[in-house]
Amino acid sequence: MGHKTYFHIKQTGRNLRHNWPTQLMTVMTISLSVLIFSFFLLIYLNIVNAGNRLGDELRLIVYLNEEVAPEVKQMYENKIREFGKVERIEFISRAEAFARLGRQLDTEKDVLADLGPDFLPPSIEVYPRRSMRNLTSLKQFSDYLTTLPAAQKVQYGRSWVERFGYFIELLRVIVILSGVLLVMATVFMVSYTIRLTVVAKEEELAVLRLVGADNKFIQTPLLIEGVLQGVIGSACGILLLYLIFRWTTGHLSGPGFLNMLDFAFFPPKTTAIIAGTSVLLCAGGSLISIRKFMRI
Partner 1 sequence: MIKSFSDDLPIVDIVKATKVYPPDIIAVQNVSLAVGKGELVFLTGMSGAGKTTLLKMVCCIEQPTKGVIEVAGHDLSRIRQTEIQKLRRQIGVVYQDFKILPKQTVYENIAIPMEVMYRSPKEIRKRVDQLLETLRITHKRNIQTAKLSRGEQQRVAIARAAANEPPLILADEPTGNLDSEVSGYVMELFKQLNNAGSTIIIATHDESIYRKSRHRKVELQHGLFSGHVGHRQLPLINA
Between residues 65 and 215, which has the closer beta carbon with respect to partner 1? 215
Between residues 69 and 206, which has the closer beta carbon with respect to partner 1? 206
Q: At closest approach, how far in Å is the CB of 2 from partner 1?
A: 8
Between residues 69 and 296, which has the closer beta carbon with respect to partner 1? 296
Residues in the chain: 296
Between residues 188 and 217, which has the closer beta carbon with respect to partner 1? 217
Find out whether 71 and 206 touch, Cβ atoms under 8 Å. Answer: no
Query: Could you tell me the end-to-end alpha-carbon distance of the chain, in angstroms, rounded to an integer?
Result: 23
Q: At closest approach, how far in Å is the CB of 4 from partner 1?
A: 5
Q: At closest approach, how far in Å is the CB of 170 from partner 1?
A: 53
Between residues 8 and 195, which has the closer beta carbon with respect to partner 1? 8
Q: Which residues bind partner 1 (CB under 8 A)?
A: 1, 3-4, 6-7, 10, 203-204, 206-215, 217, 296
Q: At closest approach, how far in Å is the CB of 295 from partner 1?
A: 9
Between residues 41 and 218, which has the closer beta carbon with respect to partner 1? 218
DSSP letters, 69-119, are: PGGGHHHHHHHHHHHS-EEEEEEE-HHHHHHHHHHHHGGGGHHHHTT-TTS
In 3D, which of 98, 87, 177 has the Cα closest to residue 132? Answer: 87
Q: How far apart are CA 224 and CA 21, in angstroms?
A: 18
Find out whether 105 and 111 touch, Cβ atoms under 8 Å. Answer: yes
Q: At closest approach, how far in Å is the CB of 191 from partner 1?
A: 23
Q: How far apart are CA 267 and CA 263, in angstroms?
A: 12
Buried b (16+ CB within 10 A) or exposed e, 214-248: eeebbbbbbbbbbbbbbbbbbbbbbebbeeebeee
Q: How far apart are CA 33 and CA 39, in angstroms?
A: 10
Q: At closest approach, how far in Å is the CB of 229 from partner 1?
A: 23
Q: At closest approach, how far in Å is the CB of 201 from partner 1?
A: 10
Between residues 4 and 53, which has the closer beta carbon with respect to partner 1? 4
**CA dihedral of 138, 139, 142, 146, whole degrees rounded to 10:** -170
C-alpha distances in angstroms, 227 versus 18, 132, 194, 230, 277? 17, 44, 11, 5, 11
Say how many C-beta atoms besides its own lie within 10 A of residue 196's C-beta: 18
Q: At closest approach, how far in Å is the CB of 20 from partner 1?
A: 15
Between residues 113 and 210, which has the closer beta carbon with respect to partner 1? 210
**88 beta partners:** 127
